[in-house]
Structure 1
Amino acid sequence: MIKLDQFLKLVGIAPTGGQAKFMILDGAVKVNGVVETRRGRKLVADDQVTIEGQTYNVGQILEEP
């Protein structure tokens, strides 16, 4: 499990937690196709995060070494 703002930093979309927060609050991030505005949203392996037209499978990202 990982929080949405931490996930955005992990994949390199947001270099800082502050930038991740603003992206989320601006409605630029979707989780499973629905706009998510809670930066503390806990993601599980089955979730998909979409931002800037790119979709990331949480489980695949967390499994990478």
Structure 2
Amino acid sequence: MKPQRLTFELDRGHVELNQLLKLAGLCGSGGAGKAVVASGAVTVDGQVELRKTCKIRAGQVVRVDGAEIRVVAAPAA
């Protein structure tokens, strides 16, 4: 099964990891996102990330449960 590839457009300087998982539709809530991060199932740029509110910025890649989220800067309005 191919991994699910998502692109998340970041419209500010950063997003907290648990909120990114919620906004990308991989978790139902920020609380669920915190639980997934705490379980050790999330990597950021290839490294396991256990900080639930780690700041994710454009250019980073987050992976969890076969899904890959590429974070990109939103185009200027």
Question: The TM-score by the shorter chain falls in which range?
Answer: 0.7 to 0.9
Q: Does the residue aligned with 2:51 lie in a helix, a strand or coil?
A: coil
* Runs of 4 or more above 4 Å deviation: none
Q: Could you list the runs of 5+ residues in structure 2 that have no partner in the other structure? A: 1-13
Query: More strand by proportion, 1 or 2?
Result: 2
Bigger radius of gyration among the two: 2
TM-score for both structures, normalised by structure 1: 0.87
Q: Could you list the runs of 5+ residues in structure 1 that have no partner in the other structure? A: none
Q: Which has the higher contact order (CA 8 A, sep 6+)?
A: 2
How many pairs were matched up?
62
TM-score for both structures, normalised by structure 2: 0.74
Query: More helix by proportion, 1 or 2?
Result: 1
